[in-house]
Structure 1
Amino acid sequence: MRGTTHFQYCQKLVVIDPATDSILLARRKGEADYDGVYSFIGGKMETTDGTILDAIRREKEEEIGQAATILIAEDLSYNILFKKKDGNSMILPHFYAEYAGGEIELNEEYSDYVWVPKDQLDSFGPMIQTIPEAVRWAAEIGEMVKKGQGLTKL
């Protein structure tokens, strides 16, 4: 159908370790738009996902394993529109998340991961260009969450 636009919904987790004030970034491997570049974890919602939270939980478990525990503010997101090299568009909702412990076990989509101190983020690279703005948003949300908004365990 002419004029129809299709969007992929691709949720991202801005994972902050509150103990070190560091951000979890993973290096993409074999990805068309950002191969070798650090990004947040997360991925596309699938038709088999019952809810957005189900999709976030599935992606977290696929990408960093079940042993890692993440707490998220599921009702708040920072949304970015992204145009892929192939012309398709993606809506990227970013969710505030806190690392609560456990081993991180990356899947085949990533070659490695790092914890980047928030105050060193602007000089870190290579990373997706929208990461600093999403982290600034997440830091503000984190302050709200600490005042009683609440987190959901993944």
Structure 2
Amino acid sequence: MSDTTHFQYCQKLVVIDPVTDSVLLARRKGEADYDSVYSLIGGKMETTDGSILDAIRREKEEEIGKAAIIAIAEALSYNVLFKKKDGNSMILPHFYAEYQGGEIELNDEYSDYLWLPKDQLESFSPMIETIPEAVRWATEIGELVKKGEGLTRL
């Protein structure tokens, strides 16, 4: 008997605005597992991506545009295993990203976005349930890489 398991690598960005102490959330549109639910931005790595950083940059530009400037701590990730409704699994590495300015221009995968103050995460809904823990992790990492050290600008 052959049991084939498919994994997708789907990087997520925990984009934090250090000025407002808030996190960027975008409402998914037309997504099988989380339609109309707020999520972090990011997406699947493609075979044409030259590296994980290339995939992160591509997804960032596709989902929130080139005008939005962020910097990420690319060497560290918070990893989550997600089992999709279709039976496949996803490995979701979450990367700390610091918002540095510029306009957010969502693509058609999302219906809207918001900057949610981190102190409102526990009571906010509808949101993917793993977000509060990922934001706690990212906040700790952000403290370690303050003042732009260890960050790559996208």
Name the TM-score, length of structure 2 as normaliser. Answer: 0.97
CA drift at 1:44: 0.1
Q: Does 1:85 align with 2:72?
A: no
Alignment-derived partner of residue 42 in structure 1: 42
Pairs aligned (count): 154
Per mean C-alpha deviation after superposition, the further-off stretch among 83-92 and 2-11 is 2-11
* Structure 2: segments with no counterpart, 5+ residues: none
Task: Report the Cα distance in structure 2 between the residues aligned to 1:79 and 1:117, rounded to whole angstroms.
Answer: 23
CA drift at 1:150: 1.3
Alignment-derived partner of residue 138 in structure 2: 138
CA drift at 1:4: 3.1
Change in 2 beyond 3 A, CA 1:148/1:25: closer
Find the residue that maps to 2:145 and give its secondary structure: helix
Task: Report the Cα distance in structure 2 between the residues aligned to 1:138 and 1:23, rounded to whole angstroms.
Answer: 10
Aligned amino acid, residue 10 of structure 1: C
Find the residue that maps to 2:63 and give its secondary structure: helix
Task: Report the Cα distance in structure 2 between the residues aligned to 1:124 and 1:115, rounded to whole angstroms.
Answer: 12
CA drift at 1:147: 7.1
Percent identity between the two aligned chains: 85
For residues 6-49 of structure 1, the C-alpha deviation after alignment (integer angstroms, 9 at most, x for no partner) is 21000000000000000000000000000000000000000000
Name the TM-score, length of structure 1 as normaliser. Answer: 0.97
Alignment-derived partner of residue 72 in structure 1: 72
For residues 93-151 of structure 1, the C-alpha deviation after alignment (integer angstroms, 9 at most, x for no partner) is 00000000000000000000000000011111100000000000001101111177510
Aligned amino acid, residue 75 of structure 1: A
Alignment-derived partner of residue 114 in structure 2: 114
Give the 4+ runs in structure 1 shifted more than 3 A. none
CA RMSD of aligned residues (A): 1.2
* Structure 1: segments with no counterpart, 5+ residues: none
For residues 51-104 of structure 1, the C-alpha deviation after alignment (integer angstroms, 9 at most, x for no partner) is 000000000000000000010000000000000000000000000000000000
